[in-house]
Amino acid sequence: MRPPRRLRLGVAGLGRAFMLMLPTLAHHPRVQIVACADPRPEARIRFTADFDAPAFADFGALCDDPRVEAIYLATPHQFHAAQVARAASAGRHILVEKPLAVTLAEAASMVERARAAGVHLMVGHSHAQDGPVQTARRMIAGGEVGAVRLITAANFTDFLYRPRRVEELDTAQGGGVVFSQGAHQVDVVRLLGGGRVRRLRALTGAWDPARPTEGAYTALLEFEDGAAASLTYSGYGRFDSDVFLDWVGEMGLRKDPTRHGLARAALAGVADAAAEAALKTNRGYGAPGQPPGLPPVSPPEFHNQFGLVIACCEKADLRLTAEGVELHGDDRRLLRRTPLPDLPRAEVLDAFCAAVLDGARPVLDGAWGMATLEVCLAILQSAREGREIALHHQVAPEGF
């Protein structure tokens, strides 16, 4: 029997996002890494050694390589629109890291470019692709717990004090927690709530002059069917909401609670923005001191998670955990365990391969990413203008 065909994937951007996805990309049974593009020569040298595949300094050369049929776009947010246009013009399917873009006009152009070229455009990794979120979605869509009435989502991390490049602290270029972290939280809440947000009211916080962008937000969302959701996120590095997840971190790994707060302390010793950017680069692929070869991988012990999420439904309440979905009913409480993937974050590549190789329609496609971006932009606009914002580009996920 012939082995199943693998997706010939090129990677654009070998930074932190790529590092987080590397174990899955390297070991996924339906993916073959065939090329990359990155401006850093040290990253390209490492890639060629690890994958025995070409590494380009120019993104266009990656798009034009005939071995590449799809591209994983892990570049900074502000480059997504132009790069999706270039990849689509070459007939390449695109998996783009969230957020889809920085403006709605860019997002709309990306969706249209992909449609006109007949290629798939999908957003990921997003925590809406985590196993427990998908399980809760199926429980809601199948009618087991009735319609959603209220969703509460809260996450408190040290995001703002991890090493950042200058543009990551500039809201106009997609910096701050609303674009980078809000996209995760909004995706989760929209998936559970049915996707179509009618309007929202929000406040944001930018409380550290040395980090001149939004480090926190809180938002109240109303869905078309009358369901409501409250979203709160803080990246200021004090309270750690992983206490609600039994000290399982975002990546599904056990964490030491006594280490919380070390990000602020480490950043205090960094001399200037250039030194901080260098520190960020040194966390990327190909940096000096990294052990040679591809990282080892083992089946995950827990699911990825994104803070406290509780969905109050007609017949029961659901709490997402790192093991599955906790159901709280009138006369019972149980944990609906969600099977773990063979690889961490495998769900996003499973969905992308199903779309490209099997013709399945991904839930988190370009239109979905545009709708999530609209919510993120509305959070910023509402906070800036002090008023309620109506939404106009919302879509429902498959299955609702």
For residue 205, the 8-state DSSP code is: E
| Domain residue ranges of the chain, discontinuous segments joined by + | 7-127+344-373, 128-291+300-342
Q: How high is the pLDDT of residue 302?
A: 98
The architecture of the domain spanning 7-127+344-373 is 3-Layer(aba) Sandwich (3.40)
pLDDT digits (tens, 9 = 90+) for 182-213: 999 999 999 999 999 999 999 999 999 999 99
Strand order in the sheet with 55-56: 55-56, 31-37, 7-12, 70-73, 93-96, 121-123
Please tell me which residue, 257 or 1, carries the higher pLDDT value. Answer: 257
Contacts with 177 (C-beta within 8 Å, 6 or more apart), sequence order: 159, 160, 213, 214, 215, 216, 217, 233, 234, 235
Minimal CA–CA distance to 242: which of 220, 218, 261, 219? 261
Distance between CA atoms of residues 310 and 327, nearest Å: 10
2 band by pLDDT with thresholds 50, 70 and 90: low
In CATH terms, 128-291+300-342 corresponds, of 3.90.245.10, 3.20.20.60, 3.30.360.10, 2.90.10.10, to 3.30.360.10
pLDDT digits (tens, 9 = 90+) for 229-243: 999 999 999 999 999
